[in-house]
Structure 1
Amino acid sequence: MNTSESLSITTTFSITDRLPIFSYLVSSNRIRWYRVIMRTFLQHHRELYSYQLTAHEVRDAVRVAFDPNYNLEQCQNDLLALKEWGNVTTIYDSSHASSIASFLSPALLYQATPEAIAIETFLDEQNHASAAQGSLRQGDLPRLWQALQTIDEGLQATALDASPTLGRELAEEWQRAFEVWNTMAREAAQYLANMINAAQQSYTDLEAFQQYKSAVVAYVHGFAQALTQYSRRIREQLAAWDTTDKQKHLISIIAQYLEPPTPTAENRRSPVELRQEAANQVEALVNWFAEGKNADSFRRNALAEVDKVVRRASTLAAATRPSANYATHLHTLARHLLTTRDGEEAQQLFSVAFANHAPIHLPESLVGTPGTTPDTWSVSPWQEAPEVTVHLKPVNRSNRGNLPLEDPIIDNRNIIRELVMQHETRLQAQREHIARLFASPSLDIGAMCSISTDDRAVLMEIIDACLGHPSCQYRALDGSTITLLNVDEQVYTLLEADDGLLFLPRYQLTRQVPASLRAQEEMPETQDNT
């Protein structure tokens, strides 16, 4: 079989054909809307574990993120184009059908295909690749060692009992251990690369760099010690597997459960390819912990970068340390004193430099010729002419006409009165509907032959509220509590009204009335009897 025959023609990512699934990335006029829509599917898939979205939810997401004027028709057209390209699939949503028309033509739910999620995940990883900081996952080393111990025990158990259950559990444990190691190695390499890049930058803040040095030294040394401790154990464990043929047995088990079963045989890889991938995984882990390989090289490079950080901190501290050359300081002080024309300023410089008060009498060459005019003849600043002329506005009635008018006080009493009347009207209408529906404390929908449209609307509101409440209860406006008894009812019934039939489960509801409300309901009956 040649290479072209071994490739599946029905796969999305074919080698020679055009790939329509990438069309939304290169479309000339709607690319921005397509990108936001697929990004929305990725966020719901990754963060909210919500895989199926309605057109209204997609439209709202695009409005918030990009286009406030985005309407439902444009959203449906964009989703239709993405469906034709293979980015999304559609299914019918008949779970919220409340009438025969909505049941016969249910709404559509849109779901991103696995290939589209893979593309968006790759694009997201590329966006965050430059911002990744990396980390030294010290806690992953004991987790990896514990997983390898569990695998060693599983290999001994499968040698005695080769059941499919034990083999599958052993393969799943290996996949968890391999993922832990892969993440730890990738994050450690990224952290070391960031340390190398940071060493090329210049720092001026000594205190901040000293804190950075202390954190880096403790962080890297802790990981290096843990890596030294667990590398030897893991290396010996993997060597023991190689000498006792456990490694070959593990590769066989991994290859057997490496790929889940697919609906079509064309997409399934051959046993030779699966065994080669399993062998590559085991070999990658063995080589990383081999003596003198990645683990030892990373430990040496990390400690070398820590040494650079320590030496740079010492150099920065020496550069910012004050110099002890007193001759230079005295020369600088003398030049400042020579250029000073004020005796008080010269005295302050002398006090700061020698931590002592300057002499009372200074030479004329420093402070100048003493004056003979007494200070009592000096003019007070308050007696001098003002430099700024203040203009005050006259206080009379002619200047009061241009005062700003305040907004009138809004009278909310009419608005509040209308809101109260609307609430009372709605409460009275709901009381009448509930009184007709719950003539008795319990209500069986299957026992009802017909119902009015208004009563049916109130009944559907009560049922929807009960289905959405954790306790399956509805709090009416009059204070009564209505409880739905059989949420998982499988028997359906027809509810006849003037505008058609409603097909729904045969729900049973009960109404609990408070004592105060029961007294108010019984009071009119007593007055009528009187």
Structure 2
Amino acid sequence: MDHSMSTAMLRGVPEFRYLNADNVARYRAVMRFFYQEYQRLRYWLRVEEVFEGVKQWGILEDYTVEQCQADLEQLKDWRNLASRHDGGRAQTVEEYMRKKSQYVLTPYSIEIERMLQTLETIKGYGGSLETTYLDTIAECLVAVRESGGFFKEGEAAICWEKLYQAFKTMHENAADFIASMHSIQAEQMMATEAFLLMKDKLTDYLQHFIKGLQKKAYQIEGHLSKISPIVAETFVEHVVKDEMRKPRLEDSFSSEEMANSLQQGWQNLRRWFLVEGNEQSELVLLERATKETIAKVVRCAVRLQERKRAGISRKKELEYVAQWFDRLDSLNDAHCLAAYVFGLFPSRHLQGEDERTTDLADISMWNEVPKIRPVRSRSRKRLSRSEAEPVRQSGSRKQAARAVIERQLQEEREFVQRMAEKQQVRISELGIVDAKTRLRLLQWIGRCMGNGSRSFVTAEGIKVRLQLAQSDEMTTLVCEDGKLDMPDYTLSFDVPYKEETVHG
């Protein structure tokens, strides 16, 4: 739970290379044999012992001693193994000088193999919600507070190990359990009817944890708040002294580094239980997540029960309610019964004009004049055969639309003929034009500009060419509905020559 970062943490980790190397099966087998022998308290192994141990598993075919020697040297280069010269059994100088080594696992490799062995047994998030760890934490904090941070030799380290291990285990188990409740497997389980059998047990388990958390966690908050920074610092100093008394042959932390690590752990413990500043404590977040999990379990159970009841016929129940309504003599009693049986109906907003017969504000809705509105059924079933509707005749409407289109086409043909008779038209020489003429001219200019030849052919076969204005000369096209500033284009029209047929 230490959030600090250093450059040493960002280095590459060559110890993991054997997990994805080309000969991964051979490397994994060798490392697993070393780890099993390490658990049996056998640390330094010779090449022959490793080769015989791996061969007994029968998983590597055609495996030789030379390959085993090469694998061991490669693992040594990746810092998974360390070696020393083995010359104890040499009978001659040549045997002693021949390269014979013993190999041992490095600390990194031990943790990697321990992690891999744990991963092989994982089938989910696991975890649990146990309040017994809170009792251990409270007991250790009481000991620190009552002693003022002063402990006998060796007792401070034991108290810290017990305190922080309980805190760490409780936090990790709770986080894993909450995560398991939001996993895909849990979502699928909550969608089955088998979930209804364990719903009550799971809800009781979560509620029991909430009660224990609310009862014991606040006691821990009280103990932490009563432990002053001086007492905490004294306690940490005694823990450092106990740790430094332990003999260590390999490189270990200095007293300053160990004190900083312990101080960080103590701050993590305080931050988990106590609110500091505007940030919420991890305790509040865990309590909220547990309550949300309980609500999720209840929602899933209700959804499953509603799904089971959806296919059950309620005909008899509704007939009984109908008979109950029929036996009532008062309309007010019927309203009360409807309120108890059906509750509030979903509101619907219908448009209509209120016909007020009185200006009293406290008049009951049941005394208002009803507004009748026909409502179409949304059911896809056709309850009754509807009468056949006659085919609508739209011939007159089509004739009117056709007449309009023909009139427009005739106007366009006449306009094209007028322009073609002039053979050449310049925008600045048009004078005042109407809106239709302006739109047609702009349409022609657009079609010419979109063509590489700056021309197009109309439906009547007249070719329209566009000549661009010289030196970007501008003009104003005066229209009935306004003025348009535009380049002074010139439009020329080529009428195709028609040969006359002579009879005679």
TM-score norm. by structure 2 comes to 0.50
Matched, 1:80 2:73: yes
Look up the SS of the partner of 2:182 in the other structure.
helix
Q: Which of 181, 185, 188 lines up with 1:201 in the alignment? A: 188
SS class of match (1:283): helix
Amino acid at match of 1:248: E
What secondary structure does 1:324 align onto?
coil
In the TM superposition, 1:450-489 aligns within 5 A as none
Displacement after TM superposition at 1:81 (Å): 3.0
Q: Structure 1 residues 21 and 280 mapped into 2: Cα distance closer, same or farther (>3 Å)?
A: same
The CA distance in 2 between the partners of 1:147 and 1:72, in whole Å, is 55
Q: Which of 183, 207, 232 is matched with 1:221 structurally?
A: 207
Provide the residue aligned with 1:290 in structure 2.
274
Residues 1:305 and 2:297 aligned together? no
Measure, in 2, the Cα distance between the counterparts of 1:14 and 1:210.
47
SS, match of residue 111 in structure 1: strand
Are the equivalent residues in 2 in contact too, given 1:256–1:274 (CA < 8 A)? no
Q: Distance in 1 between matches of 2:202 and 2:13?
A: 47
Write the distance in 2 (CA, Å) between the matches of 1:150 and 1:52: 43
Larger Rg: 2
**Equivalence for 2:237:** 252
Would the alpha carbon gap of residues 139 and 116 (structure 1) be closer, same or farther in structure 2, given more than 3 Å must change? same
In the TM superposition, what is the alpha-carbon distance from 1:285 to its structure 2 partner?
A: 0.8
- Secondary structure of 2:60's counterpart equals coil
Following superposition, the deviation at residue 255 of structure 1 comes to: 4.0
Please give the alpha-carbon distance, in whole angstroms, between the structure 2 residues aligned to 1:252 and 1:34: 44
Instruction: Provide the rounded CA distance (Å) in 1 between the counterparts of 2:192 and 2:40.
Output: 43
Deviation at 1:84? Answer: 4.2
Task: Tell me how many residue pairs correspond in the alignment.
Answer: 301
Specify whether residues 239 and 215 from structure 1 end up closer, same or farther in structure 2 by C-alpha distance, changes over 3 A only. same
Q: TM-score, normalised by structure 1?
A: 0.48
| SS of residue in 1 equivalent to 2:127 | coil
Q: Is the 2:149–2:234 Cα contact (8 Å) retained in structure 1?
A: no
CA distance in 1, matches of 2:173, 2:119: 15
User: In the alignment, which of 141, 166, 178 is matched to residue 180 of structure 1?
Assistant: 166
Tell me whether 1:111 sits opposite 2:104 in the alignment.
yes
Please say if residues 150 and 235 of structure 2, whose CA atoms lie closer than 8 Å, have aligned partners that are also in contact: no
Which residue does the alignment assign to 1:143? 136
Q: 1:132 to 1:37 in 2, by over 3 A?
A: farther
2:262 is the alignment partner of 1:278: yes
- The alpha-carbon distance between structure 1 residues 191 and 156, as it changes in their structure 2 partners (threshold 3 A), is closer
CA–CA distance in 2 between the matches of 1:60 and 1:229? 58
Q: Which letter maps to 1:172? A: I
Matches within 5 A, 1:411-430: none
Deviations 1:78-126 (A, max 9, x none): 223323443223467899x8x989xx97996532011222344455667
Structure 1 contact 142–230 (Cα < 8 Å) conserved:
yes
Aligned-residue RMSD, C-alpha? 4.0
Q: Which residue of 1 aligns with 2:50?
A: 58
Q: Residue 198 of structure 2: which of 177, 188, 212 is its match?
A: 212
Identical residues among aligned pairs (%): 25
Q: How does 1:352-367 map to 2 (within 5 A)?
A: none
Partner of 2:217: 231
SS in 1 for 2:266: helix
Decide which of 5, 18, 24 is 1:24's aligned counterpart. 18
Tell me if structure 2 keeps the 8 A contact 1:168–1:257: yes
Q: Secondary structure at the match of 1:89?
A: strand
Whole-angstrom distance in 2 between the partners of 1:318 and 1:205? 13
Does structure 2 retain, via aligned residues, the 8 Å contact 1:144–1:181? Answer: yes
Partner residue of 1:36? 29
Which residue identity lines up with residue 266 of structure 2 in the other structure?
Answer: V
2:156 to 170, 182, 185: 170
Q: CA deviation at 1:177?
A: 1.6
CA 1:40–1:144 in 2, change beyond 3 Å: closer, same or farther?
A: farther
Inter-partner Cα distance in structure 2 for 1:173 and 1:253? 11
Superposition pairs for residues 365-380 of structure 1, below 5 Å?
none
Partner of 2:313: 324
Cα 1:146–1:60 shift into 2, 3 Å = farther
Matched residue of 1:201: which SS?
helix
* CA distance in structure 2 between the partners assigned to 1:32 and 1:139 by the alignment: 43
Amino acid at match of 2:231: K
Whether the 8 Å contact between 2:190 and 2:300 is mirrored in structure 1 is: no
- By how many angstroms is 1:67 displaced? 0.8
In 2, the alpha carbon distance for the partners of 1:285 and 1:184 equals: 12
Query: 1:224 is aligned with what amino acid?
Result: I
CA-to-aligned-CA distance 1:104-152 (integer Å, 9 cap, x gap): 9799653201122234445566777783322223332223333333444
> Counterpart of 1:459?
none
- SS of the aligned residue for 2:154 comes to helix
Aligned equivalent of 2:417: none
User: What CA distance in whole angstroms lies between the structure 1 residues aligned with 2:190 and 2:9?
Assistant: 51
